[in-house]
Amino acid sequence: MPLPDNLLAPVASISRLQREARNGHRGTAILLTGLPAAGKSTLAQALHAELFARGVQSVVLDGDGLRGGLNRDLGFSDADRLENIRRASELAALLVENGQVVILAMIAPLLELREVFAQRLGDDYREVWCSASLAVCEQRDPKGHYARARRGEMAGFTGVSAPYEPPVQASLVLDTGMHTVDACLDRLLTWLGECAVLPKA
Ligand SMILES: Nc1ncnc2c1ncn2[C@@H]1O[C@H](COP(=O)(O)OP(=O)(O)OP(=O)(O)O)[C@@H](O)[C@H]1O
Ligand SMILES: [Mg+2]
């Protein structure tokens, strides 16, 4: 990505290839997208734990965690949602460059938002749609957000009063409404082998 005129790109003393060679796997970014309560954070942590057990370097960037820290100054206007994603994509790019498997658990509700990841990360970007239906997610409602949104206490809540545009070209679709966490994790791991991020099991 080109830098503004007054900046000089830092020169890395350790290259991405060197890191990947030492790690024994590629760096990549995987977005888990889906409705609130679709299971993104649950799956992200399950994948993270399994990768750790296998000696794979990974890091989870969770939407809630980012909004509690790096993006604490942002709200839910269109501009702020875009900035939320832009910062996440920059952070993900930095970590991928350092050989990490970056697991992003973020709603990223609109195609144009997910396009920010695609543009910034290029071939290092993979999109996984956690496709649990609105009915299932609302039934789960682990944070009570759907109930609050239905009572009119949460404006612009994705799925209720703000849109969720399903991915049209997800690299992988996981029906997190129908299948168990373990089954979805198995499918994720197999797929990561198929796309050569991990050595095939
Ligand atoms: N196949 C599955 N994959 C993931 N979660 C599942 C699955 N089946 C049931 N669940 C349950 O669904 C709930 C999903 O909650 P979770 O916090 O992971 O959702 P989320 O997508 O991160 O939501 P939010 O966008 O609000 O952060 C958890 O209670 C989890 O145990
Ligand atoms: Mg979550």
**How far is the centre of ligand 1, averaged over its atoms, from the C-alpha of 144 (Å)?**
13
Task: Give the atom of ligand 1 at the shortest distance from the alpha carbon of 184.
Answer: 1
- Residue 122: pLDDT above 80? yes
The 3-state DSSP class for residue 127 equals strand
**Residue ranges of domains in the chain:** 25-194
Per residue in 9-24, pLDDT (tens digit) is: 888 899 999 999 999 9
- Residue 2: pLDDT above 80? no
**Nearest ligand to the C-alpha atom of residue 36:** 1
Task: Give the atom of ligand 1 at the shortest distance from the alpha carbon of 36.
Answer: 25
Task: Give the atom of ligand 1 at the shortest distance from the alpha carbon of 43.
Answer: 4
Per residue in 65-90, pLDDT (tens digit) is: 999 999 999 998 999 999 999 999 99
pLDDT band at residue 43 under the 50/70/90 scheme: very high
**How far is the centre of ligand 1, averaged over its atoms, from the C-alpha of 132 (Å)?**
9
* CA separation for the pair 54, 3 (Å, rounded): 37
Measuring CA to CA, which residue among 102, 90, 87, 92 is closest to residue 26? 102
What is each CA distance from 56 to 61, 112, 141, 156, 183, in whole angstroms?
Answer: 16, 31, 32, 37, 20
What confidence score (pLDDT) does residue 35 get?
98
**Nearest ligand to the C-alpha atom of residue 108:** 1
**How far is the centre of ligand 2, averaged over its atoms, from the C-alpha of 11 (Å)?**
35
Task: Report angle CA 15, 16, 19 to the nearest 5 degrees.
Answer: 90
What confidence score (pLDDT) does residue 197 get?
86
One DSSP character per residue, 39-69 reads SHHHHHHHHHHHHHHTT--EEEEEHHHHHHT
The overall average pLDDT reported for the chain is: 95
| Ligand 1 environment, Cβ below 6 A | 34, 36-43, 63-64, 105, 107, 140, 142-143, 176, 179-181, 184
What confidence score (pLDDT) does residue 201 get?
57
**How far is the centre of ligand 2, averaged over its atoms, from the C-alpha of 118 (Å)?**
21
State what percent of residues in the chain have pLDDT above 90: 90
Which of 1.10.3720.10, 3.40.190.290, 3.90.950.10, 3.40.50.300 would CATH assign to domain 25-194? 3.40.50.300
Measuring CA to CA, which residue among 31, 43, 33 is closest to residue 130? 33
pLDDT band at residue 141 under the 50/70/90 scheme: very high
**How far is the centre of ligand 2, averaged over its atoms, from the C-alpha of 45 (Å)?**
10
What confidence score (pLDDT) does residue 169 get?
86
